[in-house]
């Protein structure tokens, strides 16, 4: 695809986010669709926005779909409310939403453990009108400590993500330093050192951050990377971000983890949205 120099991004390990790609299909058909497109690894937002504690039959059905497709689940979000949508997380929201997050922690950890998933993403949550931000931050730390301990129980990393201010104006973590500050607070509170930064290059670009500088400064604290082009949140090569160069820089900085494809397919089936990536480069190595 024009605008993407594959050669400088070789040797990356890509997975497909099944909560933004293949959404034209029912949830249980998406793992097989990703496999048919040549991928062997997938990730997911929490799939049941209506329930942080779904019936075991729903969990079992998704587990079977992933296993039957022969793909690996490499990343999973804790319950975060309506995604995509206005919620942007639950763990710092007082009342029912933070209680739902807490109820979901062990459910998410157990599901991830059953599939060998070792990265759990905890979206921070929006600011709430009339609530002291310091009180929300204290609640967030309490819940993130619980999440970090659950992640540690299954040998997983807890991910803290920065979103972007234009699309998430009430979300407080809208820069790499803000997310890193929370990572550091969680690690200091638990002593586990299993909290890491989720570096989403699309969100950071939307915030106007210096992406090469972010990579150079924070690659060692990064537990997962996600990409989409900007503007438009489309596939690499549809916008102006030098994603191949940035991925190559990450590799040189020592990052060897997963790169999640978290972009919109546009006005075409998701299976046609990977023409920028040679098929031989899609299976995890």
Active site residues: 161, 262
Q: State the Cα–Cα distance between residues 258 and 3, nearest whole angstrom.
A: 22
Radius of gyration for the chain, computed over Cα atoms and rounded to the nearest angstrom:
18
Beta bridge partners of 196: 159
Q: What is the DSSP string of the chain?
A: -TT--GGGGTT-EEEEETTTSSTTS-GGGHHHHHHHTT--EEEES-S-TT-SS--HHHHHHHHHHHHHHT-EEEEEEPP-SSTTTT--BSTTSTTHHHHHHHHHHHHHHHHHHHTT--EEE--B----TTS-HHHHHHHHHHHHHHHHHHHHHTT-EEEEE---TTT-TT-S--SHHHHHHHHHHHHHHHS---EEEEEEHHHHHHTT--HHHHHHHHGGGEEEEEE--TTTS-STTSSS--HHHHHHHHHHTT--SEEEE-----SS-GGGTTTTS-GGGSS--
């Amino acid at each position: 695809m024009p605008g993407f120099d594959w050669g400088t991004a070789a040797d990356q390990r890509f997975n497909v986010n099944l909560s933004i790609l293949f959404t034209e299909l029912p949830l249980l058909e998406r793992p097989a669709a990703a496999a048919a497109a040549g991928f062997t690894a997938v990730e997911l937002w929490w799939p049941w926005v209506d329930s942080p504690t779904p019936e075991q039959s729903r969990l079992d059905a998704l587990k079977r779909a992933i296993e039957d497709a022969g793909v690996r689940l490499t990343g999973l979000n804790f319950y975060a409310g309506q995604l995509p949508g206005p919620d942007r997380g639950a763990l710092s929201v007082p009342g029912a939403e933070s209680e739902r997050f807490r109820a979901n922690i062990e459910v998410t950890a157990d599901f991830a453990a059953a599939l060998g998933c070792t990265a759990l993403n905890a979206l921070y949550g929006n600011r709430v009108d009339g609530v002291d931000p310091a009180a929300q931050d204290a609640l967030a730390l309490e819940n993130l400590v619980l999440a970090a301990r659950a992640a540690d129980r299954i040998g997983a990393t807890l991910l803290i993500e920065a979103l972007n201010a234009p699309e998430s104006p009430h979300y407080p973590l809208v820069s790499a330093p803000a997310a890193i500050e929370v990572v550091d607070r969680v690690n200091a509170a638990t002593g586990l050192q299993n909290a890491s930064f989720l570096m989403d290059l699309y969100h950071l670009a939307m915030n106007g951050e210096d992406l090469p500088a972010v990579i150079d400064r924070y690659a060692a604290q990064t537990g997962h990377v996600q990409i989409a082009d900007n503007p438009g949140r489309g596939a690499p090569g549809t916008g102006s971000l030098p994603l191949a160069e940035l991925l190559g820089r990450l590799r040189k900085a020592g990052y060897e983890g997963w790169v999640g494809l978290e972009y919109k397919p546009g006005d075409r089936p998701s299976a046609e949205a990977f023409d920028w990536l040679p098929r031989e480069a899609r299976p995890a190595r």
